[in-house]
């Protein structure tokens, strides 16, 4: 591909930033990634933990899953050399509990079966009455007839309450609420119904993703990482980028940008280094704090007017980014000798005293046997109290009397609160200044796929 000779600075080395670097390079640009820390991956990266015997084990900053509908993420991972069939464990969509009750979809992957697998799975769900099943089937059929669209002001709870016949309380507690929390990380009382339906549509009715001649990921497939999140994409992307002539500068925190007649200059010590465009790829709060050093005494009238414009546009963008509210996600890593779950991922019964919605068996995902990851979406409360509650929940529901906590990771600003009619910051900030990340305006909630798609759009707008 012929090079464009455009130099692109990408501020942030998380999934969005590394995706932007790959897309920019594919488009023929010269990409440089500036990462404030010494590690790539952002909020989806590897961290170090230790077992009770002192053995060091790799953990993730939060337990993530992908689904087969995440086509852009999957294609990008392939681009940088990740073998998806080896890196991801494919399984049917499941919300099954340790006692065998709960929803699990059949493993159907033919195109004409898309959507039918959901109906079949609902009809065969153990532990539900026929009223539970029929009411849910009617609700999902109604959502499908309406094109998975609803009033933009509706919450998930209101959407379900107004269905006729009403979705039963058991289905709400065992399916709708945990599904809403896992997808939007926002309680169903305040979560956007329109975004929830959009995710549901993609998860059930999107085209299958063909990885190779022998591997097909259906839209409703759960794809569980069998390697740590840093090695799932950011590190392979970094290796690929450097092979293509790109650059990565770790430990480079950008405090401000300067726009002049030569383009954009970053305050990282390279006073003579200018860029044709800058992509802000960090978290919303970090990017909202980046300052623009606008030299209003510029002699060139056009440059001076453009500096005024950039300053105004950035202030408006930062105001919208600052207005976002956030939800936390807690991940509790625990260990029990010889623990092995019936499936790599199980749903958990939740209430005020049992806050974890899901548990992952890291031993079945290429990690240490006996190591479990409990996920508490939209987490609140004292870390130690939550940790003790989850350990008690795991001991009881999983029958693991020797379960003990290893490490609890709380990401306080894990995602934005995905509420109805939320105004999210735009990709385009000003001429030559763009942003990408899972919080940027788009069809998805705060997911890895949302981050990747926003990066693709940002590069396309250069």
Q: What is the CATH number of the domain that holds 282?
A: 3.50.50.60
- Answer whether residue 345 is part of any domain: yes
pTM above 0.75, yes or no: yes
430 and 304 in a common domain: yes
136 and 23 in a common domain: no
Rounded to whole angstroms, the Cα distance separating 36 from 308 reads 28
Please count the other Cβ atoms lying within 10 Å of the Cβ belonging to residue 6. Answer: 17
- Answer whether residue 50 is part of any domain: no
435 and 412 in a common domain: no
297 and 444 in a common domain: yes
320 and 429 in a common domain: yes
Rounded to whole angstroms, the Cα distance separating 67 from 43 reads 19
Instruction: Tell whether the torsion through CA atoms of 331, 336, 337 and 339 is positive or negative.
Output: negative
- Answer whether residue 210 is part of any domain: no
345 and 319 in a common domain: no
- Answer whether residue 387 is part of any domain: yes
Structure tokens at 376: 């508490």
256 and 109 in a common domain: no
393 and 254 in a common domain: no
Mean pLDDT in runs of 10 for the chain (462 residues)?
A: 76 96 97 94 90 93 88 94 94 91 78 65 93 94 93 96 92 94 95 95 75 70 93 97 96 83 77 84 74 53 73 86 94 95 96 96 95 96 95 98 96 94 93 93 92 97 94
Rounded to whole angstroms, the Cα distance separating 276 from 264 reads 6
Structure tokens at 440: 């940027």
- pLDDT of 121-145, one tens digit each? 899 999 999 999 999 999 999 999 9
- Answer whether residue 23 is part of any domain: yes
430 and 380 in a common domain: no
Q: Which residues span the domain enclosing 186?
A: 94-205
Distances (CA, A) of 440 to 214, 321, 359, 391: 35, 9, 29, 36
402 and 303 in a common domain: no
- Answer whether residue 116 is part of any domain: yes
- Answer whether residue 277 is part of any domain: yes
Helix, strand, coil percent content, the chain, rounded in steps of 5 = 35, 25, 40
Residues paired with 266 in a beta bridge: 257
Residue 237 near residue 35, CB atoms below 8 Å:
no
The residue among 75, 27, 340, 337 whose CA lies nearest residue 212 is 75
Structure tokens at 414: 């894990």
378 and 303 in a common domain: no
Q: Which of 170, 205, 240 is the last residue of a domain?
A: 205
Residue 39 near residue 45, CB atoms below 8 Å:
yes
- Answer whether residue 303 is part of any domain: yes
pLDDT value, residue 205:
73
238 and 299 in a common domain: yes
Number of domains forming the structure of the chain: 3
Residue 169, burial from CB neighbour count under 10 angstroms (0-12, 13-18, 19+):
exposed
- The distance from CA 113 to its chain's CA centroid, rounded to whole angstroms, is 27
């Amino acid at each position: 591909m012929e090079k464009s000779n455009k130099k692109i600075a990408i501020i942030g080395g998380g999934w969005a930033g590394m995706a932007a670097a790959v897309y920019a390079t594919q488009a023929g640009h010269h990409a440089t990634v500036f990462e404030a820390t010494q590690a790539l991956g952002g909020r989806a990266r590897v961290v170090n933990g230790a077992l009770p015997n002192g053995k060091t084990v790799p953990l993730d900053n939060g337990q993530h899953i992908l689904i087969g509908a995440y086509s852009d993420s999957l294609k990008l991972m392939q681009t940088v050399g990740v073998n998806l069939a080896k890196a991801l464990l494919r399984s049917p969509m499941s919300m099954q509990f340790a006692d065998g009750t709960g929803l699990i979809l059949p493993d159907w992957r033919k195109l004409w079966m898309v959507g039918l697998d959901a109906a079949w799975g609902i009809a065969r769900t153990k532990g539900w009455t026929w009223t539970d099943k029929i009411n849910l089937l009617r609700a999902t059929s109604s959502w499908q007839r309406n094109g998975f669209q609803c009033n933009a002001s509706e919450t998930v709870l209101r959407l379900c309450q107004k269905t006729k016949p009403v979705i039963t309380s058991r289905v709400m507690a065992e399916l709708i609420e945990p599904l809403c929390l896992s997808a939007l990380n926002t309680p169903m009382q305040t979560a956007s119904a329109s975004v929830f339906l959009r995710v549901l549509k993609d998860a059930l009715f999107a085209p299958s993703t063909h990885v190779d001649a022998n591997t097909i990921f259906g839209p409703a497939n759960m794809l569980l990482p069998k390697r740590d999140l840093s090695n799932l994409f950011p590190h392979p992307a970094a290796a690929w980028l450097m092979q293509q002539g790109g650059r990565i500068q770790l430990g480079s925190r950008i405090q401000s940008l300067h726009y002049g007649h030569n383009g954009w200059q970053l305050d990282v010590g390279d006073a003579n280094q200018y860029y044709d465009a800058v992509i802000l790829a960090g978290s919303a709060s970090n990017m909202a704090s980046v300052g623009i050093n606008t030299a209003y005494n510029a002699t060139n009238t056009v440059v001076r007017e453009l500096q005024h414009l950039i300053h105004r546009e950035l202030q408006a963008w930062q105001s919208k980014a600052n207005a976002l509210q956030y939800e936390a996600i807690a991940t509790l890593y625990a260990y029990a000798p010889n623990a092995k779950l019936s499936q790599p991922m199980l749903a958990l019964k939740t209430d005020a005293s049992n806050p974890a919605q899901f548990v992952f068996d890291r031993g079945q995902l290429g990690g240490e046997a006996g190591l479990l990851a409990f996920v508490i979406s939209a987490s609140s409360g004292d870390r130690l109290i939550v940790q003790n509650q989850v350990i008690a929940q795991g001991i009881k529901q999983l029958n693991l009397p020797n379960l003990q906590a290893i490490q609890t990771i709380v990401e306080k600003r894990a995602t934005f609160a995905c509420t109805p009619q939320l105004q999210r910051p735009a990709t385009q900030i000003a001429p030559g200044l763009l942003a990408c990340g899972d919080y940027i305006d788009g069809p998805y909630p705060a997911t890895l796929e949302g981050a990747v798609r926003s990066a693709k759009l940002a590069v396309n707008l250069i």
